Amino acid sequence: MAEWIARQLPALVVLVPFTAAPLAYLLGTGFGRQIALISALLSQPLAILLAVTVVREGELRYEVGGWGGPLGIDLVVDGFTAVMVLVTTVVGLFVTVYALGYFGNRERYRFFWPLWLFLWGSLHALFLSGDIFNLYVCLELVSMSAVALVGLTLRREALVAAMRYMLAAILGSLFYLLGVALIYGAFGSVDMQTLREVVRSDTTGQAALALMTVGLVLKTALFPLHFWLPPAHSNAPSPVSAVLSALVVKGSFYILVRLWVDVAEPMAFPGVSTVLGVLGSTAIIWGSIQAFRQQRLKMLVAYSTVAQIGYLFLLFPLVTGGGQAAADAWMGGIFHAVSHALAKSAMFLAAGTVLARFGHDRIDGLGGLSRRAPVTAMAFGLAGVTMMGLPPSGGFVAKWQMIRASIESGEWWWAAVVVTGGLLAAAYVFRVVGPFFGREVDDLDDADLNAGPSPWTMESAALVLAIGALVLGIVGQPLLDLIMVSAPALVAGVTP
Amino acid sequence: MSQTDLYTLVGSALFVIGLYALMTRPHLLHKVLALNISSSGVFFVLVGIARRVGGPVPDPLPHAMVLTGIVVTVSSTAFALALAKRIYTETGTAALDAADVDVGESLGG
């Protein structure tokens, strides 16, 4: 049995949530919650086992149904994949626990459970995909379930935000698919392992990668194509906001990294990584300023996501030169994705607790929150430490790696952007957290509909995630080692 | 000009036409249709690529991709239409911005 599980591990990681999703739909509200929780708990040992196996044995390949390429679908697991599956699983568990309290047994939110499980399974499938066409299918699965979750409350703003998100998401997928078509036409394969050998930077190759990059940049909401993100992420129910900001945007980012660092040789496409880096830098500055100017807490957190996505894209220019700088940039970029996932989900969950309890999330009406909801105020503050990148948080380690990479590669200006972004993050975090621990304002009355303290599961789920992001900086070394397992040739040349 | 080139050109043109309509038309039905036209363009390119190999039998893999793509497009179109209908019921307009309210009223009834 143990051996069988070990061999089927890549498939099981995908199958558990995908089996739970239709069950949660068919069995209705009461059971949906329980099935989601069981699936979330089952996924934990599977994701950990997957990471351990990858560390022991290196890259895993699994032929679904025993077909093998080129007709079958292969699942591939390397360090990058294992890290993304692991963070999805951990964040997923706490979001599930939070949602149990947030949605309760209310009939009108019964579709949350199957949709969330579909989204979860699709994310795992995306990270495990070994070919670029299967990635397209997974992208669409992720988008469809995410859009449905945004519109779950059926409020006007939520529906319009969902529609805007959907149009952007489908358009992004089409750009990507057109690129896939051109790649297959020119190089005769969609398998990433094969493409690694054959992709050239001729006209077709450049056109294909350009189309795919535009589509994925739109789906990752990189400045200036981020217009759909703030309304969608802030109008969604808070557990959904947490998943969207923490995990869903990382899905399309994951494909971009695969394409540019793993499949294509970035040296052969000069300029692209610089453009991505410049857009990322602009996102950091512009998103932080916008976050500072928001009046509503969830909008502030959503614009903070726009800014933090920018850091992810600094990976591209820093990795291009190869050598030690590339290895540091690789670790820093992916580590940032992980620590941001933990901290941002904590922030959105905390904001959701505030919204559910007090009936509003106007920032100027939240003074003195620490006295009424100390755990939630604490969770938000601790998550803010990671956003700012202060030691010992995960955000600090990530930014430290990026700064190291930019000095090693001689391109110090990226380091300047990282430092400036940290200061701007401090500005918008303190704008909220300062009043939290200050004088109480009159607006802070429990909303009459469901007055009283929130369920302890909601408050503690946010706090645990925030603490997780914080201690990631202290216990992060195993994670950094995992990120480097079977890393792409460009970054694996030198290991620390 | 080979058959593949022709299909690729026509497909790209359809893709761009859909893209243009998506950006300029405010009505949600138009936007959903525009995305459908764009996806047809992508499928055209794929069908053309299948003929790239010589001989009497075309390459089946792009055909399988088109089939998968059609399934995805049908589902997402159905979902987008349901969402558009719901937006019309809730807001009385079938556009994303309140400024485009007239368009919604004239076409939504």
Q: In this structure, which CATH number among 3.40.30.160, 3.90.1150.10, 1.10.287.3510, 3.40.50.10490 belongs to the domain B3-108?
A: 1.10.287.3510
Interface touch B96/A166, C-beta < 8 Å = no
Option in B45, B72, B96 nearest A163 (CB): B96
B9: which strand partners? none
Q: Round to whole Å and give the CA distance between A266 and A230.
A: 31
Tell me the pLDDT of chain A averaged across its residues. 91
Q: Quick check: A174 and B49 CB within 8 A? A: no
Q: How far apart are CA A453 and CA A357, in angstroms?
A: 7
The count of other CB atoms within 10 Å of the CB of residue B24 is 10
Q: Which of A147, A170, A185 sits opposite B49 (nearest CB)?
A: A185
Q: Where are the domains of chain A?
A: 268-496
How far apart CA A256 and CA A272 sit, in angstroms, is 12
Determine contact: A160 vs chain B, CB below 8 A.
yes
At A441, is the pLDDT very low, low, confident or very high (cuts 50, 70, 90)? confident
Is residue A436 within 8 A of residue A377, CB to CB? The reply is: yes
Q: What is the pLDDT of residue A50?
A: 95
DSSP-derived letter for residue B58 is: P
Judge: B4–A147 Cβ closer than 8 Å, yes or no.
Answer: no
Say if residues A35 and A67 touch (Cβ distance below 8 Å). Answer: no
Domain boundaries of chain B, sorted by first residue: 3-108
pLDDT for A437? 87
* pLDDT tens profile B54-64: 778 888 899 99
Task: Give tens-digit pLDDT for A74-117.
Answer: 999 999 999 999 999 999 999 999 999 998 878 888 899 999 99
pLDDT at A494 over 60: no
Percentage of chain B lying above the pLDDT 70 cut: 88
Could you report the per-residue pLDDT of A327-376, keeping only the tens digit for each? Answer: 999 999 999 999 999 999 999 999 999 998 888 899 988 888 888 889 99
Reference A433, options A245, A300, A303; nearest CA is: A300
DSSP structure class, residue B95: B
Closest CA–CA distance from residue B29 to any residue of chain A (Å): 11
| Number of cross-chain residue pairs from A and B with Cβ atoms under 8 Å apart | 83
CA distance, residue B83 to nearest chain A CA (Å): 7
- Mean pLDDT along residues A458-484: 93
pLDDT single digits (tens) A280-338: 999 999 999 999 999 999 999 999 999 999 999 999 999 988 889 999 999 999 999 99
The ipTM is: 0.92
CB proximity A216 to B under 8 Å: no
Return the structure tokens found at A87: 């963070």
Interchain CB distance below 8 Å, A166 and B80: yes
Cβ A151–B79 below 8 Å, yes or no?
Answer: no
Least confident of A189-203, A213-227, B37-51: A189-203
Residues of B in contact with A218 (CB under 8 A): none
CB A193 within 8 A of CB A130: yes
Q: What is the pLDDT of residue B98?
A: 60
Q: Is B40 on the interface with A (CB under 8 A)?
A: no
Higher pLDDT, B39 or A73: B39
